[in-house]
Amino acid sequence: MYIVKQKVNGGEYYYLRKAVRNGKKVTSECVAYLGKTLEGAEMKKKEIEEKLLKQEGKGNVMAENQNNNNNEKTMVHKSLTIDELAIFCKRKGFVYPSGELYGGLGGFWDFGHLGVELKKNLKESWWKYHVYRDDLVGIDGSIITNPKVWEASGHVGSFVDVAVVCKKCKNKTKIDKHEVGKAKCDKCGGEFENKGEFNPMFVTQVGPVKDDSVKAYLRPETAQLIFADFKLIQENARMQLPFGIAQVGKSFRNEISPREFLFRSREFEQMEIEYFIEGGTSCPYMEETKGVNILVYDEHMQKAGKEAQFMDLHEAWKKGVIKTDWHAYWITQEYNWFLNLGCRAENFRIRQHCSDEKSHYAIDTWDLEYKFPMGWRELQGFANRGNFDLTQHQNYSKQSMEIMNKEQKKVLPHVVCEPSLGVERAFLVFLFEAYSQNEKGEVVLKLNPKLAPIKAAVFPIVKSEEYEAIAEKILKDLRKDWNIIYDKSGSIGRRYARNDEAGTPYCITIDDKSPSQKDITIRDRDTREQIRVKIIDLKETIRKLINGEIEFLHAGKRV
């Protein structure tokens, strides 16, 4: 099947057609109308192909099972392409192309009823893990700020990409300045034609009257207001070095070629920490890096054409592969956050930026990379920004950014490490890690319960006033704390399947014994085991299960 573009009354429309053999003749037949944009058309084509494959029963299931539980042996992790994930996300209500009604807009996405919950839970988990400690506080800066912030930060002058077009396949993309003349097209290997430098910051006008309005920018990173507000935050929160400031929020970049679903968007969210130290202070948390193994790919290995090597992060720092203790510590923290939420270690590695690819502010940068279906790609950056930003703001604002250290001496702190993670990239990682199929080929989204959009579904086994009254009481109670759904339509099997696909970890059933025994059953999504729990203990049991404080089969009487 193939896509064709047709012009009708000046408008362009995309159609899916297929070749049909009629005796000796091959003709073409229209299969479906695909909309007004090529991006939307490609997505719809994949949806149609997926549907047809399903009808023919040809799922490409890749078996890989790490669990010993009998029921889980029949559950397999499935590898998806990024486009297949996009289709799943649209079908289930995780993510839609933004404004699809009008053909969408490249690089912008809307999060649906499940996506918004997953994203919220992901950010909440990140915030609790990083910010609720003695040496961290958070802020929420504005998206548009005084444009001088961006002049001082170097974004107006130095935040540039080079736009290129492949001479062979016409693929439009961007490359870093250092890649000019070296980079080849990632689609066909062809040579690039240089279309010149461009600044990816979105520009807007602040003020209603054109003549008096101010040219301003939508922030391209959340980090900068942490630097601009640094003195206020440090004084008000009474922070003493070393300490960090975190921020989660939207960032905008006018990417020349947004692609690969959420991976490179024009509007996205970042979760960033600027960790400030007095130059040379050592990290007191290095014990935490011991025994933490990850694939390491430093500049030397890359230049020598060697493979990445598994290393203990503590050892990597001791041997000087990772130059600062703080860098090794923050990489450990971030890697552990993913592992604690159920990700597989073999899908992560860290890669050092080569000297010619570092950002304008960076002394040394490592990326935490993830093995996406399109290859190893940046998930999170860890830049050593030194005192570049505070020095710049000091010079531009003519105000001192120095603070007192413990000895009451004035110092200009250094950002020894800036862990900077894109919410949408983390969102993709959790979905890729969770996507599985059971023996019937049905999707089971094995998300960590803390991330799951819906924590539990409540079902009365049959429609009766008595059962429904119990269900409603349970719902009212659980909904005070979590997103819980009530599902009373279809067979129990169908209701389980619907919820497995949405990643709901627990299904609560009110059955014929519930009215007399005052208990219910809870079914676990991943093992399909069931336990009976007294209604009075239900909320506390669900809380412990979500927080991973109790094993499922120890939480009640096995059925």
Q: Name the site residues for ligand GAP (rule: CB under 6 A).
A: 221, 223, 253, 255, 264-265, 268, 270, 272, 378-381, 418, 420-422, 424-425
Rounded to the nearest whole angstrom, what is the least distance from the CB of residue 383 to ligand GAP in the complex? 6
- By 3-state DSSP, what share of the chain in percent is helix, strand and coil, each rounded to 5? 35, 30, 35
Dihedral sign of CA atoms 539, 543, 546, 552 in order? negative
Query: Which residue, 109 or 243, is less far from ligand GAP as judged by CB?
Result: 109
In the complex, the smallest distance separating the C-beta of residue 155 from ligand GAP, rounded to whole angstroms, is: 10
Asked if 534 contacts 514 with a C-beta cutoff of 8 angstroms, the reply is no
Tokens linked to 96: 């839609």
Strand (E) or helix (H) holding 230? helix 230-236
Nearest distance in Å: CB 138, ligand GAP = 16
CB of 386 to ligand GAP, least distance (A): 14
Q: Give the whole-angstrom CA distance, residue 500 versus residue 72.
A: 13
Angle at 149 between CA 230 and CA 274, to 5 degrees: 40
How many CB atoms are located within 10 Å of the residue 316 CB?
A: 23
**Nearest residue (CB) to ligand GAP, 270 versus 514:** 270
Check the CA dihedral 367-143-273-113 and report its sign. negative
Q: How far is the CB of 279 from ligand GAP (least distance, A)?
A: 20
Query: Which of 380/437 has CB closer to ligand GAP?
Result: 380
Complex with ligand GAP: residue 265 or 436, whichever CB lies closer: 265
CA dihedral 113, 115, 121, 127 (to 10 degrees): -130
> Which one-letter amino acid corresponds to residue 358?
K
CB of 171 to ligand GAP, least distance (A): 17
Please say which residue, 255 or 487, places its beta carbon nearer to ligand GAP: 255
Q: Which is nearer to ligand GAP, 197 or 512 (CB)?
A: 197
* Least Cβ distance, residue 481 to ligand GAP (angstroms): 30
Provide the minimum distance between the beta carbon of 271 and ligand GAP in the complex, in angstroms, as a whole number. Answer: 9
Q: Which residue has the tokens 């009640």?
A: 556
Question: Would you say 385 or 495 has its CB closer to ligand GAP?
Answer: 385
Distance, CA of 20 to CA of 2 (rounded, Å): 12
Q: Which is nearer to ligand GAP, 320 or 375 (CB)?
A: 375
- CA–CA separation, 382 vs 369, rounded Å? 11
Q: Rank residues 379 and 510 by Cβ distance to ligand GAP and give the closer one.
A: 379
Closest CA to 223 of 154, 322, 133, 283: 154
Element of type H or E holding 411: strand 410-411
Q: What is the spatial distance between Cα 163 and Cα 200, in angstroms, rounded to a whole number?
A: 10
Instruction: Give min distance, CB of 76 to ligand GAP, in A.
Output: 29
Instruction: Kindly list the distances between the CA atom of residue 496 and the CA atoms of 114, 257, 353, 493, 525, in Å, as whole numbers in the listed order.
Output: 17, 40, 46, 5, 8
| Minimum CB distance to ligand GAP, residue 367 (Å) | 7
Closer residue to ligand GAP (CB): 174 or 455? 174
Sequence letter at residue 431? L
Residue nearest ligand GAP, Cβ-based = 422
The 10 Å Cβ neighbour count of residue 306 is: 11
